């Protein structure tokens, strides 16, 4: 799909504002100079999850560092709705994919949960965070969701905020007579997608006992975890999020 406005969009940590000079990282400098062949004077877009999107002009493109000066705000800050995505890490490519899609689809926070049936995959949190950042840069958003460190599901549920609805993609509901997707609760909300193998009986009991739990079936076929994550995020955004 077409990229809106500036072709090159970069996420930075620093505050953005009129005349602000921003030092770009070594990786960003490499991308600008060697991949995109940008020179001094070129215009790029910057955002930092707080100050909207800024049109910035490159004032220095060195071998290892580059500087950009903010010219004018080109889009207001748009925060995603207060929706979290929780999922058990699966194979590397599909985990990457879920993180990318969650950022594109406007999740505010991404939490990887260790469940009883999660295969002990190694999680590179920094790499997943980089995927979320790149997806936000690509999709024209002004916000990068945080990718939280892998935590046991039981611990996450122990500390579950009472007011946050938990939408549970319950794969056992797909068997037998298919049921319609029920009305989804408004923000603050979270979506929980199980790993391959589903949830253990203990986990199912624990989830069922939560006050704010919303089990949903996603159609009559069994969806892979990555498909289920994208489908649930889509349905929530269309029903209660910023696609309305």
Binding part of the chain for a second copy, among 33-41, 61-69, 107-115, 138-146 by CB under 8 A, reads: 138-146
What are the φ and ψ backbone dihedral angles of 53, each rounded to 5 degrees?
-100, 135
Asked if the peptide bond before residue 188 counts as cis, ω within 30 degrees of 0, the response is: yes
Residue 188: CB minimum distance to a second copy, A: 19
Based on the shown chain and the rule CB under 8 A, indicate whether residue 172 belongs to the binding site for a second copy: yes
Measuring CA to CA, which residue among 193, 236, 203 is closest to residue 98? 193
Which residue shows structure tokens 């620093």?
A: 14
Among 175, 183, 202, 205, binds a second copy (CB under 8 A): 175
Strands (E), 88-241: 109-114, 146-152, 165-169, 189-193, 213-216
Report CA-CA distances (Å) from 214 to 77, 93, 192. 31, 28, 10
**Contact residues for 212 (Cβ-Cβ < 8 A; gap 6+):** 162, 163, 164, 165, 166, 185
Q: What is the dihedral of CA 176, 180, 186, 189, to 10 degrees?
A: 20
Based on the shown chain and the rule CB under 8 A, indicate whether residue 153 belongs to the binding site for a second copy: no
In the window 219-238, what residues touch a second copy (CB under 8 A)? Answer: 219-225, 227-228, 230-231, 234-235, 237-238
Based on the shown chain and the rule CB under 8 A, indicate whether residue 52 belongs to the binding site for a second copy: no
Among 58, 165, 207, 218, binds a second copy (CB under 8 A): 218
Based on the shown chain and the rule CB under 8 A, indicate whether residue 47 belongs to the binding site for a second copy: no
Site string for a second copy, 67-106 (x = CB under 8 A): -----------x------------------x---x--xxx
Query: Would you say 3 or 23 has its CB closer to a second copy?
Result: 3
Q: Greatest CA separation found in the chain?
A: 63
The residues that touch a second copy, with contacts defined as CB under 8 A, are 1-4, 78, 97, 101, 104-106, 138-141, 169, 171-172, 174-175, 178, 180-181, 194, 196-198, 217-225, 227-228, 230-231, 234-235, 237-238, 241-244
């Amino acid at each position: 799909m077409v990229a809106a406005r500036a072709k090159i969009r970069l996420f930075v940590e620093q505050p953005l504002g009129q005349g602000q000079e921003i030092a770009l990282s070594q990786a960003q400098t490499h991308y600008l100079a060697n991949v995109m062949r940008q020179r001094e004077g070129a215009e790029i877009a910057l955002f930092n999850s707080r100050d909207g999107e800024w049109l910035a002009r490159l004032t220095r493109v060195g071998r290892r560092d580059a500087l950009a000066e903010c010219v004018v705000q080109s889009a207001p800050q748009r925060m995603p709705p207060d929706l979290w995505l929780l999922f058990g890490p699966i194979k590397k490519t599909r985990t990457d994919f879920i993180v990318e899609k969650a950022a594109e689809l406007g999740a505010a926070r991404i939490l990887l949960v260790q469940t009883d049936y999660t295969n002990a995959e190694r999680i590179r949190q920094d790499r997943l965070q980089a995927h979320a950042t790149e997806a936000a840069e690509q999709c024209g958003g002004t916000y990068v969701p945080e990718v939280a460190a892998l935590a046991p599901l039981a611990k996450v549920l122990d500390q579950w905020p009472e007011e946050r609805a938990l939408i549970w993609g319950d794969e056992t509901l797909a068997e037998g007579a298919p049921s319609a997707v029920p009305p989804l609760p408004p923000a603050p909300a979270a979506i929980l997608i199980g790993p391959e193998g589903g949830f253990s009986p203990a986990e199912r009991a624990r989830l069922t006992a939560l006050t704010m739990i919303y089990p949903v079936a996603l159609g009559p076929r069994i969806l892979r975890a990555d498909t289920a994550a994208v489908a649930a995020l889509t349905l929530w955004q269309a029903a209660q999020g910023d696609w309305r």
